[in-house]
Amino acid sequence: MSTTRTLRIGAVLVAALALGAALLRPAAADEAPLSAFFGTYVGAGVTTGEDRTYLGVTLRDLDVRIQQSASGFSVKWTTVLRHEDDAGNPHQLRKSATRTFAPTDRPDVYKAVRSGKLLDGEEIAWARIKGQALTVYLMTLDNAGRYHIQSYERTLSETGIDLAFSHTRDGDRIRTVTGKLKRHE
């Protein structure tokens, strides 16, 4: 067996063990297991805030897919913004993003595989499970040193998940979104 092949098998085994540990980790207190969040969810939300980009936009269609990945899990979310009085033509602005997370040494805390260096102008991203909620955080610094933190808290409900999104800039909450998403089989 070649050294390369041995290393590859070793890497696969380590990743499998890490994923197994994350999935099978006994729930600390009442923490939901990671696998409880896996699924596809579809719903809608309401925006509040003073962000000029979203002025006049109060409704948004939400779509999220949380699934197992090689080393942890990935979250893909799509948002379609539409005007309240323009429901017949909802494709005003469509945004989509995906982040993949791997377990860390800290229980129920995950780090984005591509999390960068904040002070180099790169995004850092992490996630945590607390109770029935999986929260994803994205943080960046702009060129002037102002910080932006976006958090997506997704809480398991009887029919799917409830979303509470918040965008904070330099300590000021500039936009929030609350929504309900149903599990889509």
Partner 1 sequence: MSRVRNIRFPRLFLAAGLGLAALLPVALGWVGLAASAQAGEALAEKAIELRSFFGTYVGGAQMAPMPGSGETAQHRDLDVVIEPFKDGFRIVWVTVTRVDGRRDVAGVRRQASEQVFERDGKHDYFRLARKVHMFRGTTDIDVIAGDPVLWARIVGRTLSIHQLTIDADGTYLVQTYRRTLAADGASLEIDFERLHNNAIDRRVSGRVVRVRDEP
**Which residues contact partner 1 by CB under 8 A?**
104-106, 108-109, 111, 115, 117-121, 124, 126-128, 130, 135, 137, 139, 141, 143-145, 147, 149, 151, 166, 168, 170-171, 173
Nearer to partner 1, 1 or 119 (CB): 119
- State the number of CA atoms in the 13 A half-sphere of 184 facing the CB: 11
- Closest contact distance (angstroms) between CB of 17 and partner 1 is 20
Residue (3 or 143) nearer to partner 1, CB: 143
101-116: b (≥16 Cβ within 10 Å) or e: bbbeeeebebbbeebe
Per-residue tokens: 139: 């943080």
Report the nearest approach of partner 1 to the CB of residue 106 (Å). 5
What minimum distance in Å lies between the beta carbon of 42 and partner 1?
Answer: 25
Nearer to partner 1, 5 or 117 (CB): 117
Residue at 153: amino acid letter: E
Query: Quick one: 100 or 166, whose CB is closer to partner 1?
Result: 166
What are the angstrom distances between the C-alpha of 64 and each of 45, 89, 180? 12, 21, 11
Least distance between partner 1 and beta carbon 146 (Å): 8
Smaller CB distance to partner 1: residue 78 or 176? Answer: 176
Q: Which of 104, 9, 20, 106 is nearest to 70 (CA)?
A: 20
Closest CB 114 distance from partner 1, rounded Å: 12
Half-sphere exposure in the Cβ direction for 96 (13 Å, CA): 6
